[in-house]
Amino acid sequence: MLSLLFPGLISCKKSRKIPVPDVTQIEVTFNLLRLDKILTKVDTVAPYTPLPQLAQDYPGIYECYTGNILGFLPHRGLEKVDLKEISNYLNYPGYKAAVDSVEQAFPDLKELNEELSQAFRYMRYYLPQRPVPDVFSFVSEYRYGAVTCYDSLLGIGLDMYLGKDFTFYPALGYPQYIMKRMTPEYIVRDAMMSLAQNDFGRDVSSDLLLDRMIHQGKLLYYLDLTLPETPDSIKIGYSAEELKWCKENEAEIWAYFLEDDRLFMNDRIRGSHYISVGPSTLGMPPEAPGNVGSWVGWQIVREFMWQNPDMSLTELMQLQSGQKILRLSAYKP
List, for residues 170-220, the tens digit of each pLDDT value: 999 999 999 999 999 999 999 999 999 999 999 999 999 999 999 999 999
Number of domains in the chain: 2
Same domain, 120 and 236: no
Q: Please tell me whether residues 191 and 212 are part of one structural domain.
A: no
> Do 176 and 316 belong to one domain?
no
| pLDDT in the model for residue 18 | 93
Question: Which residue did the predictor score with more confidence, 30 or 75?
Answer: 30
User: Are residues 274 and 166 part of one domain?
Assistant: no
Q: What's the whole-number mean pLDDT along residues 28-44?
A: 94
pLDDT at 231: 97
- Residue 186 inside a domain? The answer is yes
Q: Which of 18-22, 47-51, 129-133, 236-240 has the lowest mean pLDDT?
A: 47-51
**For residues 222 and 195, what is the distance between their CA atoms, to the nearest angstrom?**
10
Judge whether 181 lies within some domain: yes
Q: End of a domain among 145, 176, 199?
A: 199
Among 199, 234, 256, the domain boundary falls at 199
**178, 199, 220 — which closes off a domain?**
199
- pTM of the predicted model, to two decimals? 0.93
Q: Are residues 38 and 158 in the same domain?
A: yes
Same domain membership, residue 312 and residue 214: yes
What is the span of the domain harbouring residue 321?
201-329
Mean pLDDT across the chain, nearest whole number?
A: 92
- Considering the domain architecture, whether residues 179 and 56 belong to the same structural domain is answered as yes
* pLDDT score recorded for residue 2: 37
pLDDT for the residue numbered 48: 85
Mark whether 49 and 180 lie in a shared domain: yes
pLDDT at res. 210: 98
In a domain, 310, yes or no: yes
Question: How much is the average pLDDT of 99-125?
Answer: 98
Co-location of 221 and 149 in the same domain: no
Q: Are residues 305 and 322 in the same domain?
A: yes
Residue 225 lies in a domain: yes
pLDDT of residue 159: 98
Res 151 pLDDT > 90: no
pLDDT of residue 43: 86
